[in-house]
Amino acid sequence: MSEAPAGARRRAEVVGLGLIGTSVAWGLRRAGWFVTGSDLRAERAARAEELGAIDAIGEDLDAELAIVATPVAAIAEVSQRLLERGGRPNFVVTDVGGVKGELVSALGHPRFVGGHPMAGSEQEGPDGADPELFHGATWVLTPTAATDEAAYATVRQLVSVLGAEVVALAPVHHDEMVAVVSHVPHLTAATLMGLAAGASVEHASLLRLSAGGFRDMTRVAAGDPAIWPDIFRDNASAVLVALDGLIARLGEARRIVAEQDRTALVELLEEAKSARRNLPPRVPRAEDVVECRIPVPDRPGALAEVTTLLGELGVNVFDVEIAHSAESEGGVLVLTIARSAAELARKALAGRGYRAAIWGLS
Amino acid sequence: MSEAPAGARRRAEVVGLGLIGTSVAWGLRRAGWFVTGSDLRAERAARAEELGAIDAIGEDLDAELAIVATPVAAIAEVSQRLLERGGRPNFVVTDVGGVKGELVSALGHPRFVGGHPMAGSEQEGPDGADPELFHGATWVLTPTAATDEAAYATVRQLVSVLGAEVVALAPVHHDEMVAVVSHVPHLTAATLMGLAAGASVEHASLLRLSAGGFRDMTRVAAGDPAIWPDIFRDNASAVLVALDGLIARLGEARRIVAEQDRTALVELLEEAKSARRNLPPRVPRAEDVVECRIPVPDRPGALAEVTTLLGELGVNVFDVEIAHSAESEGGVLVLTIARSAAELARKALAGRGYRAAIWGLS
């Protein structure tokens, strides 16, 4: 860490030292900033200091920027207090909550910039923190017409220092998008799981029929419910619109099945297939990577063999997924790798008997 | 392969030499059976013979058993023809189609036993076949009151020779279960993908907001639609019941969000979490395995390090999944390992800095 004299270091304050807040603080401190932090739970602040994620516990009236990383329900009040507190002129406040519309309009302040890093972890608290958590992540910022330009530039710098990429969206548009790609899918996963559990109440073992596709679809339902009630409260209107859209589309799917409308069924599935295959990959720019799909048997060793082989060749694996077909036990290993490494990887894998298909080489 | 004289070998005939049919033939032949096979596409039969999956192309009037592995739409007619054909007394016919109710009642024959192996692959045709495809898989058989006991015993033996485990279900019950755990989830994945694609038609890049949970949920939608129209035709009634159940439950979820019924929301999510965590693991008996959950950074090398470390220790990994949280870039590696190896694995992983949580040790 570069320990420049405190006077020369940029200064930030983090309120709420859970996994996200501590990771933000730690990443900034690593980049040379002077960072203070606080948490209603004193042991969290102490732990963050012990980890070296913050320079000191407490407020900092000389900070140029505060990041509010409290539970969603407290963000508005904490942000309001910070904006009204004396301190540096042009002091900026941003947050990391998952819902933006109401919050941003309730605060309505030119030096509050809403934010939402699309990163996280199954773990909790400062012990789960990682100064590199945001490397390569998408970080949504929600400036409005009223947002001060210098304030927005400061928050953009924060995101960039942490290694993430800014996507700027109107607050309401952000909320609509996360309702569609996160909140409603989560509710749907829980609902599908409930339907299956309810259907087989007398025959729990019949859930052995559930193969990889069902497991993939319901996996998020295994997570901790704690964060969801506030999200569904704050984003209720966008969630209701998306839910209505989903229910209407399922009603149309019902009609298609009931009337045996084969043309419409194939169209529905083909459109979904095309959209799914065109999902941008999660890590680098879409045009720089390809998907390398390798059928692997359900046998120990195959996964290790493939990943170490690529490692030895110096092929960076940006992402890895196991794709199960709807009714299959075996799987397909889906590796996101650099386009430039695609041929090398394919040949090396062929040499070991793996038939890799490269997607995205168009 | 044990090449006993043809007269001493048990004899089977496979009709339809796609991936499943060729795998069945190949597995039986490996186990010492004499196997003939046929396919309307002559090149498939030739390829299966070339691979060594069948002894000869064509019919076998001395076979004790025929396995019908044609497309779903042809199963009834092909099976009927086989049952009416002269040949061995007590000749048995079984199939591998994904829908059973109508088929079994339409044939209504004591020596037809419906079957559905829960195994497959993304690949197609004899070149994707694997004589070990069914090792450890669940294979549903659907005997009825009219089923001949000797015929049922013969098909049970077939499944056992192929290394799979029989689950016997009434045909209608099978169809209800696969509607819930496979057919309706598939339709839902396609519908969610369509909703997201429709919502962001002006801003395709916004799908970058889709994190691991959404990707997991929509992955099956990337598959080939070709098999689905026949499935949705043959299993329409069970699919409609399950779809109605899903739509009703989503309607209740809508009410919960609209009325901010926090208690009901937490209950819905907690029940789903508990049901998802209790899904039986896919490979060995539930009581013999545990889940080893290891948070891993999105960084090349971690996956290879973990899997090779376990390999070196002789820890068998029965299954591997990458669990993404709903809004996260990093992931959790979920390994299904033998209960007896849990402590060894945890300690070895801790020695390399991985914090593994063991689930199912209760």
pLDDT in tens, A142-164: 998 889 999 999 999 999 999 98
**Quick one: pLDDT at residue B136?**
78
**Quick one: pLDDT at residue A8?**
81
| Partner-chain contact A221 B197, CB within 8 Å | no
C-beta of residue B45 within 8 angstroms of C-beta of residue B39: yes
Query: Measured between alpha carbons, how far is B33 from B24 in angstroms, rounded to an integer?
Result: 11
Question: How far is A62 from chain B, CA to nearest CA, in Å?
Answer: 32
**Quick one: pLDDT at residue A55?**
98
What is the mean predicted confidence (pLDDT) over A323-329? 51
Residues 6+ apart with CB under 8 A from A252: none
Please tell me which of the candidates A137, A275, A320 has its beta carbon nearest to residue B197.
Answer: A275
Nearest alpha-carbon partner for A222 in A200, A198, A197, A189: A189
C-beta of residue A115 within 8 angstroms of C-beta of residue A142: yes
Question: How far is B207 from chain A, CA to nearest CA, in Å?
Answer: 7
**Quick one: pLDDT at residue A318?**
66
| Partner-chain contact A245 B205, CB within 8 Å | no
Q: Where are the domains of chain B?
A: 6-169, 174-277, 286-359
Q: Which of A186, A206, A260, A285 to mutate against chain B (most B CBs within 10 Å)? A: A206
The answer, yes or no, to whether residue B191 has pLDDT greater than 80, is: yes
Whether the CB of A170 is below 8 Å from some CB of chain B: the reply is no
The most confident of A134-138, A201-205, B301-305, by mean pLDDT? A134-138
**Quick one: pLDDT at residue B23?**
96
| Partner-chain contact A325 B220, CB within 8 Å | yes
Question: How far is B91 from chain A, CA to nearest CA, in Å?
Answer: 29
Report the mean per-residue pLDDT for chain B.
85
Beta pairing, strands B138-142 & B112-117: antiparallel
Q: How many CA atoms lie within 13 A of B313 on its CB side?
A: 21
What is the arrangement of strands in the sheet containing B56-57, beginning at the earlier edge strand? B56-57, B34-38, B11-15, B65-68, B92-95, B112-117, B138-142, B165-168
C-beta of residue B17 within 8 angstroms of C-beta of residue B127: no
CATH entry, B286-359, from 3.30.70.260, 3.40.50.150, 3.20.20.70, 1.20.1080.10: 3.30.70.260
Interface size A-B, in CB pairs within 8 Å, comes to 426
**Quick one: pLDDT at residue B111?**
96
The answer, yes or no, to whether residue B332 has pLDDT greater than 70, is: yes
Whether the CB of A218 is below 8 Å from some CB of chain B: the reply is yes
CB atoms within 10 A of CB A260: 12
Chain centre to alpha carbon of residue A243: 21
| Partner-chain contact A225 B266, CB within 8 Å | yes
Q: Helix A236-258 and helix B184-199: axis angle, to 10°?
A: 130
* CATH, range B174-277: 1.10.3660.10
Whether the CB of A243 is below 8 Å from some CB of chain B: the reply is yes
| Partner-chain contact B329 A282, CB within 8 Å | yes
Please tell me which of the candidates B199, B260, B327 has its beta carbon nearest to residue A233.
Answer: B260
Query: Measured between alpha carbons, how far is A341 from A288 in angstroms, rounded to an integer?
Result: 10
SS3 string, A306-351, reads: HHHHHHHCCCCEEEEEEECCCCCCCEEEEEEEEHHHHHHHHHHHHH
| pLDDT > 70: percent of chain A | 83
C-beta of residue B143 within 8 angstroms of C-beta of residue B133: no
Please tell me which of the candidates A245, A279, A295 has its beta carbon nearest to residue B210.
Answer: A279
Please tell me which of the candidates B180, B280, B301 has its beta carbon nearest to residue A311.
Answer: B301
The most confident of A142-151, A306-315, B296-305, B319-328, by mean pLDDT? A142-151
Residue numbers in B near A244 (CB within 8 A): 254
| pLDDT > 70: percent of chain B | 83
Closest chain B residue to A131, measured at CA: B297
Torsion, Cα of A291, A294, A296, A300 (10° steps): -70
pLDDT digits (tens, 9 = 90+) for B48-107: 999 999 999 999 999 999 999 999 899 999 999 999 997 898 999 999 999 999 999 999
Question: How far is A285 from chain B, CA to nearest CA, in Å?
Answer: 10
Whether the CB of A325 is below 8 Å from some CB of chain B: the reply is yes
C-beta of residue A189 within 8 angstroms of C-beta of residue B215: no
Q: Which of residues 174-213 of B touch A (CB under 8 A)?
A: 176-178, 180-182, 184-200, 204-213
Closest chain B residue to A164, measured at CA: B329
| Partner-chain contact A181 B211, CB within 8 Å | yes
pLDDT digits (tens, 9 = 90+) for B250-287: 999 999 999 999 999 999 999 998 888 877 655 455 56
Please tell me which of the candidates B228, B260, B320 has its beta carbon nearest to residue A236.
Answer: B260
Please tell me which of the candidates A219, A272, A330 has its beta carbon nearest to residue B194.
Answer: A272
**Quick one: pLDDT at residue A284?**
52
Both tokens assigned to A152? 């927005």
Closest chain B residue to A223, measured at CA: B273
| Partner-chain contact A118 B182, CB within 8 Å | no
**Quick one: pLDDT at residue B361?**
58
Nearest alpha-carbon partner for A277 in A361, A157, A345: A361
**Quick one: pLDDT at residue A236?**
96
Which one has a higher pLDDT value, B125 or A361? Answer: B125
Whether the CB of A140 is below 8 Å from some CB of chain B: the reply is yes
Q: Which of A165, A261, A321, A327 to mutate against chain B (most B CBs within 10 Å)? A: A327
Task: For domain A6-169, say whether CATH 1.10.150.120 is its number.
Answer: no
Q: Which amino acid is at A84?
A: E
The answer, yes or no, to whether residue A283 has pLDDT greater than 70, is: no
pLDDT digits (tens, 9 = 90+) for A32-50: 999 999 999 999 999 999 9
Q: Which element (helix H / strand E) includes B248?
A: helix B236-258
- Lowest average pLDDT, out of A36-40, A256-260, B232-236, B323-327, goes to B323-327
pLDDT digits (tens, 9 = 90+) for A68-122: 999 989 999 999 999 999 789 899 999 999 999 999 999 999 999 999 998 766 5
pLDDT digits (tens, 9 = 90+) for A5-21: 656 899 999 999 999 99
pLDDT digits (tens, 9 = 90+) for B212-223: 678 888 888 887
**Quick one: pLDDT at residue B67?**
98
Give one DSSP letter per residue of B131-186, joined into a string.
TTTTTT-EEEEE--TT--HHHHHHHHHHHHHTT-EEEE--HHHHHHHHIIIIIHHH
Residue numbers in B near A182 (CB within 8 A): 209-211, 213-214, 326-327
What is the mean predicted confidence (pLDDT) over B299-317? 69
Q: Which element (helix H / strand E) includes A177?
A: helix A171-178
Helix (H, G, I), strand (E, B), or coil: what is residue A261? coil
Please tell me which of the candidates B138, B195, B240 has its beta carbon nearest to residue A257.
Answer: B240
- Lowest average pLDDT, out of A260-264, A289-293, B26-30, goes to A289-293
Local confidence band at A326 (pLDDT 50, 70, 90 cut-offs): very low
Which one has a higher pLDDT value, B314 or B174? Answer: B174
Beta pairing, strands A331-338 & A317-323: antiparallel
Handedness of CA B276, B277, B280, B282 (dihedral sign): positive
Both tokens assigned to A227? 């964060």
pLDDT digits (tens, 9 = 90+) for A176-220: 988 998 899 999 999 999 998 887 544 455 566 666 678 878 888
